[in-house]
Amino acid sequence: MASLPQILTANRLRDGDVVYWRGGSWVTSLADAEVFSDDAAAEAVLKAADAFVKGREVVNPYLFDVKIEASGVRPVKEREIIRAAGPTVRLDLGKQSTRHV
Amino acid sequence: MYRYDEFDARFVKERVAQFRYQVERRLSGELTEDEFKPLRLMNGLYLQLHAYMLRIAVPYGTLSARQLRMLAHIARKYDKGYGHFTTRQNIQFNWPKLVDVPDILEDLATVEMHALQTSGNCIRNVTADHFAGAAADEIEDPRPLAEIIRQWSTLHPEFAYLPRKFKIAVGGAEHDRAALKFHDVAIEIVKNAAGETGYRVYAGGGMGRTPYVGHVVGDFVAKSDILAFLEAVMRVYNQSGRRDNIYKARIKILVNSLGLEETRRQIEHEFAEIRASRTLEVPQEEIARITDYFAPPAFEALENPSPEFEAARNADANFCAWSDVNLATHRAPGYAIVTISLKPIGGVPGDASHEQLDALADLMDTFGLAEIRVSHEQNLVLPHVRKKDLPAIHARLAELGLATPNAGLVTDIIACPGLDYCDLANARSIPIAQRLSERFADLKRQRDIGELKIKISGCINACGHHHAGHIGILGVDKKGVEFYQLQLGGSGAEDASIGEILGPGFGEHEIVDAVERVVDTYLEKREGSERFLDTVRRVGLEPFKERAYAGWAYHI
B349 in Cβ contact with B420 (< 8 Å): no
Q: Residue A15 domain-assigned?
A: yes
SS3 B197: strand
Asked if the structure places residue A81 within a domain, the reply is: yes
Give pLDDT tens digits for B407-420: 999 999 999 999 99
Is a pLDDT exceeding 70 seen at residue A48?
Answer: yes
CATH 3.40.50.300 fits B307-399, yes or no: no
Q: What pLDDT, on a 0 to 100 scale, did the predictor assign at position B555?
A: 45
DSSP B140-180: S-SHHHHHHHHHHHTT-GGGTT-SS-B-EEEE-BSS--S-G
Strands (E), B8-48: 45-47
Burial B73-89 (b: 16+ CB within 10 A, else e): bbbbebbbebbbbbbbb
> How many Cβ contacts (< 8 angstroms) between chains A and B?
76
* Run of H or E residues at B548: helix B542-548
Mean pLDDT computed over B233-255? 97
Q: Which domain holds residue A10?
A: 6-98
- pLDDT for B553 equals 61
B415-548 has the same fold as B6-109: no
Pair B351, B62: CB distance under 8 Å: no
Confidence of residue B480 (pLDDT cuts 50, 70, 90): confident
Contact (CB<8Å) B50/A79: no
SS (H, E, C) B390-403: HHHHHHHHHHCCCC
CB–CB contact B50 A14 (8 Å): no
> Across residues B59-64, what is the average pLDDT?
97
- Please name the residue of chain A whose CA is at the shortest distance from the CA of residue B348: A89
pLDDT of res. B253: 98
Tell whether B419 is within 8 A of chain A (Cβ).
Answer: yes
pLDDT computed for residue B554 by the predictor: 53
Q: Given A16, A79, A89, which is nearest B51 (Cβ)?
A: A16
Ramachandran region, residue B131 (left: φ > 0; alpha: ψ -120 to 50; beta: rest): alpha
Question: What is the side-by-side order of every strand in the sheet holding B91-93?
Answer: B45-47, B52-56, B91-93, B82-85, B351-353
CA distance B386 to B136: 15
The predicted-structure confidence for A28-37, as pLDDT tens digits, reads as follows 999 999 999 9
Averaged over B390-405, what is the pLDDT? 98
Instruction: Note whether B381 and B340 are within 8 A (CB).
Output: yes
Indicate whether B204 pLDDT > 60. Answer: yes
ipTM summary value: 0.96
Verify cis geometry, omega within 30 degrees of 0, for the bond prior to B305: yes
- Single pTM value for the model: 0.97
Amino acid B477 reads D
**B 467-526 near A (Cβ less than 8 A):** 477, 480-482
Amino acid letter, B548: A
- Judging contacts by C-beta atoms under 8 Å, the chain A residues touching residue B482 are 78
Q: Which of A93, A96, A97 should one mutate to test binding to chain B, selecting the residue with the greatest count of B CBs within 10 A? A: A93
Inside any domain, residue A1 = no
Please compute Rg for chain B using Cα positions: 23
| Beta pairing partners, A19 | A10
Query: In what order do the strands lie in the sheet containing B185-191?
Result: B127-128, B168-171, B185-191, B197-203, B215-221
Nearest-neighbour CA in chain B from A68: distance (Å): 16
Which CATH superfamily, name and number, covers B135-293?
A: Sulfite Reductase Hemoprotein, domain 1 (3.30.413.10)
Q: Residue B539: which H helix or E strand, with range?
A: helix B532-539
User: pLDDT by residue (tens digit) across B139-156?
Assistant: 999 999 999 999 999 999
Q: Is the pLDDT of residue B551 over 80?
A: no
**pLDDT range class, residue A101, cuts 50, 70, 90:** very low
DSSP B276-291: HHTTTPPPHHHHHHHH
Who's near B412: CB < 8 A, 6+ residues apart?
A: B341, B343, B377, B379, B406, B453
Rounded to a whole number, what is the largest CA-CA distance in chain B?
68
Minimal C-alpha gap between B53 and chain A (Å): 9
Amino acid A3: pLDDT: 87
Report the residue of chain B nearest A94, measured CA to CA.
B50
Measured distance CA(B65)–CA(B77) in Å, rounded? 18
- Asked if the model's pLDDT at residue A97 lies above 60, the reply is yes
Number of domains in chain A: 1
Residues of chain A contacting B80 with CB distance shorter than 8 Å: 93
Residue A76 in domain: yes
Kind of pairing between the strands at B414-415 and B454-457 = parallel
Q: How many CA atoms lie within 13 A of B479 on its CB side?
A: 0
CA atoms within 13 A on the CB side of B289: 9
Mean per-residue pLDDT over chain B, rounded:
97
pLDDT tens readout for residues B509-550: 999 999 999 999 999 999 999 999 999 999 999 999 999 998
Residues of B in contact with A16 (CB under 8 A): 47-48, 50-52, 96-98
B residues 46-105 lying closer than 8 A (beta carbon) to A: 47-52, 80, 95-99
CB contact under 8 A, B431 and A89: yes
CB contact under 8 A, B47 and A89: no
What sign results for the dihedral spanned by CA atoms B180, B419, B412, B358?
A: positive
Q: Where are the alpha helices (DSSP H) in B423-486?
A: 430-439, 443-449
Task: Name the residue facing B420 among A15, A60, A82 (closest C-beta).
Answer: A82
CATH number corresponding to B6-109: 3.90.480.20
Q: Residue B454 corresponds to which amino acid?
A: I
Nearest to A89 among B50, B348, B482 (CB): B348
Tell me the pLDDT tens digit for each residue of A56-95. Answer: 999 999 999 999 999 899 999 999 999 999 999 999 999 9
Distance (Å) from the alpha carbon of B503 to chain A's nearest alpha carbon: 24
Which pLDDT does position A2 carry in this prediction? 63
Q: So what's the pLDDT on residue B51?
A: 98
For residue A51, give how far its alpha carbon lies from the nearest alpha carbon of chain B (Å): 12
Q: Shortest Cα distance from A20 to chain B (angstroms)? A: 13
Domain boundaries, chain B: 6-109, 135-293, 307-399, 415-548
Q: Is B223 helix (H, G, I), strand (E, B) or coil?
A: helix
**Closest Cα in chain B, distance from residue A75 (Å):** 10
Any idea how long chain B is?
A: 556
To the nearest whole Å, the CA of A94 is away from the closest chain B CA by: 7
Any idea which fold B415-548 has? Sulfite Reductase Hemoprotein; domain 1 (3.30.413)
